[in-house]
A = this chain, B = another copy of it.
Amino acid sequence: MKPTLPVGIYGITAEKFSCGRDNREVARAMLAGGIRIIQYREKRPDKTFAAMLDECLAIRALTREAGALFIVNDYPDLAMLVDADGVHVGQDDFPPDKVRKLIGPDKIIGLSTHGPEQELAARKSGADYIGVGPIFATRTKSDVCAPVGFAYLDYVVKNSPLPFVAIGGIKENNIGQVLAHGAKTVCLVTEIVGAKDIAETALRLRRMTDVF
């Protein structure tokens, strides 16, 4: 059966910002901190496909043990090889209807969106959830568009039937605003993978999402 997007904190790997810790270690700490969904997001040439496969196999085992979802960014083949729960794609990647043909009906597909037109297209293309952002400016991704601010988030909260994750430049000091605007699932990348104590930080952030 197709899983649904968990509420709470959405974790994403980012080795570059993980202060020397490898993605397995980061994933383990995220899970210890109560995170219920982890997306693996690494790209060539930073990492080879062979290395990504090894890491994803390890993180798949960890997430399965913890009962958490595991999503692979951009690469449906990698997701299939490790039996991930889904694939996340951007606007310039394979479109959701094509990804669906590869991964089948029981996996979830997330699509990054940056405005109302893309939200509508996401519904039509069979995406199971959408990314909404970047809410704030971010330097974690190099190929990112300008912040959409709260205007698009408010639009989605009001108009979209799709589950969504708010993403982009969200930190401990501004997550309250994002939650106040109606986000139930929130992604913080650098704030978590770069934290001194990842598990403790994830737990603290999770408690903030519980308040709303």
User: Which residues of A does B touch, CB under 8 Å?
Assistant: 43-45, 48-51, 53, 74-78, 80-81, 89, 91-95, 98, 101-102, 143
Give this chain's copy count. 2
Q: Beyond A43-B44, A45-B143, is A94–B81 a contact (Cβ under 8 Å)?
A: yes
Query: Which residue of B77, B91, B93, B98 is within 8 Å of A94 (Cβ)?
Result: B77
Contacts of A43 in B (CB 8 A): 44
Query: Which residue of B53, B91, B102, B143 is within 8 Å of A77 (Cβ)?
Result: B102
Chain B residue with Cβ nearest A98? B81
- Closest beta carbon of chain B to A121's beta carbon, Å: 13
Chain B residue with Cβ nearest A94? B49
Q: Are A93 and B143 in contact (CB under 8 A)?
A: no
Q: Are B74 and A102 in contact (CB under 8 A)?
A: no
Chain B residue with Cβ nearest A48? B92
Contacts of A51 in B (CB 8 A): 92
Q: Are A50 and B93 in contact (CB under 8 A)?
A: yes
Q: Are B93 and A49 in contact (CB under 8 A)?
A: yes
Query: Which residue of B77, B89, B92 is within 8 Å of A75 (Cβ)?
Result: B77
A91 to B49, CA, bound (A): 10
Contacts of A92 in B (CB 8 A): 48-51
